[in-house]
Amino acid sequence: MIDREHVSALEKILGEKGVVSDPAAMVAYQTGARYDEGVAALVLRPASTEEVSAVVAYCVKNGIALIPQSGNTGLVSGSTPDGSGTQVVLSLDRMVQRFDLDLDNRSLALDAGFRLSDVNQRLEQHGLFFPIDLGADPRIGGMLSTNTGGSRFLKYGDVRRNTLGVKVVLADEAGTVLDLNCDLRKNNTGVDWKQVFIGTAGAFGVITECVLNLEALPKQVATAYLVPASGAHVMPLLRAMEQRLGAYLSAFEGMSRNAVAAALDHVPSLRNPFQGGVIPDYVILCEISRTWEPREGEQSLDAVLEAVLAEIWESDDAPLADAFVGPAHEMWALRHALSEGVKHSGKLIAFDLSFRRGDIMAFCDRMKADMPSVFPEVTICDFGHIGDGGVHFNLVVPKDSSAATDRDFETRLRDWVFTIAVGDFTGSFSAEHAIGRKNQSYYDLYTDSKIKELAAGLKALTSPGSLGTVRFG
């Protein structure tokens, strides 16, 4: 669906390995992680910033729309083509040459095509890691373009906090390369331009390289499942943990009964850790960690966690109904199985929401009270990052239900949830997946007109060509 002369010109720039035109080979680039699927005119696979610059310049000059794609693990249709067959996917999967580790600076300069798992595997021997913990295995460029957070945001922050610099190719007729690859942690010499390209889904330019802050790998870890006395006790419990543990606290992950049940049902090898096999209404996975090896005479982290939980248990109006310390690998295995478990329990309609921390449980309680009467077909399977205000509000419809294939039903459901989440609770409709076709209409609805005007001006200034799936203006 693209003129042969364009294909030939792009093959001349990238070579045969850099251009995919076979329909069967393009399927993986056209299919997203959550039901979205489009049709690409072509897939381009540059191996360097220079090649990205050359193909972007060519496509802009010839009016060819580009969809930057990293690991294609996003959930809002931000990296897949639409169904028109006119868009070209620009994949970063061959951008895996540069990997320059600076131990003294505790930083890593690398190409944007590396997968997170590969990065951390290489860093492990040096006792370091990129501290963004995710269930999926994205590429680094996609993580920057969506500003992912993950399960340990509470301690380490998001991608934005851990990015020192970027190199970007702008979608103009020159394929301008903007080198913002600074490896300084303190540099107040003007506008921090790298932030324009982090979390904005590739609309303002294609991130091809970056410099990341690294952290020391934990050498000691202790985990526990906490059962709050009620939803209203979740925040007092979190505050009590923070007061007593400080920087030791690295995760505070909430899991609803329905989400846990779906994971246990989908992964039979998982052990049901709850007494009598009865899953609580809500359970929290708590983790504390240290970055040094155990010292002689030092209290173990398991003992620290048990002592803290005992203090909280004995406090007035104790927020705990139950708690037990257990092996970290087993406890995290259940947490990481939630997404796939929920996905396989029916037709999944997923929301990535964030709130003030104190509003999370109030929102979830409101949904559980109102959903049965408004959308009785829906089962709520929520879980998320209670420590940072994020919640994966997953709604499941039976696969054999007519609602599972009814687009109008999904639209009504999304409209209703967002009206309450954004309108009543002043939350965000996109906590850590950025903007894509699935939530474009909500950006249009909820974003101030002046902000959209400024974004349109910035888009015209940086990348006037057709780049990405998002309209920020």
Rounded average pLDDT over 175-194 = 95
| Segment holding 338, helix H or strand E | helix 338-343
Look at residue 34 in the predicted model and tell me its pLDDT: 73
Place of tokens 């997968």: 115
| Domain limits, the chain | 4-91, 99-216, 220-338, 346-439
- Domain 220-338 identical in fold to domain 346-439: yes
Options 3.30.360.10, 3.90.1150.10, 3.40.50.1820, 3.30.70.2740; which CATH number does 346-439 get? 3.30.70.2740
Helix H or strand E segment including 346:
none
Report pTM. Answer: 0.94
408 Cβ partners below 8 Å, 6+ apart? none
Per-residue pLDDT reduced to its tens digit, 375-430: 999 999 999 999 999 999 999 999 999 999 999 999 999 999 999 999 999 999 99
* Site of tokens 């310049």: 57
Question: What are the tens digits of pLDDT across the range 51-84?
Answer: 999 999 999 999 999 999 999 988 898 999 999 9
Cα–Cα dist 194/160, whole Å: 9
Query: Between 49-61 and 4-14, two packed helices, what is the crossing angle to 10 degrees?
Result: 160
What average pLDDT does range 195-208 have in this prediction? 97
Taking alpha carbons only, the member of 276, 260, 141, 155 closest to residue 212 is 141
What fold characterizes domain 4-91?
3.30.43
Confidence of residue 272 (pLDDT cuts 50, 70, 90): very high
* Assigned fold of 99-216: 3.30.465
- Count, in order, helices (H) and strands (E) of the chain: 16, 18
| pLDDT at residue 292 is higher than 90 | yes
Contact between 149 and 158 under an 8 Å Cβ cutoff? The reply is yes
Range list of H helices, 198-233 = none
Confidence of residue 288 (pLDDT cuts 50, 70, 90): very high
Rounded CA-CA distance 419/128 in Å is: 42
Supply the DSSP string of 426-440, one letter for each residue. --BSBSSS---TTTH
Judge whether 103 and 59 are in contact, CB under 8 Å: no
Specify the CATH number of the domain 220-338. 3.30.70.2190
Query: What Cα–Cα distance (Å) separates residue 268 from each residue in 264, 368, 382?
Result: 6, 28, 21
Q: What φ, ψ does residue 303 adopt, rounded to 5°? A: -70, -40
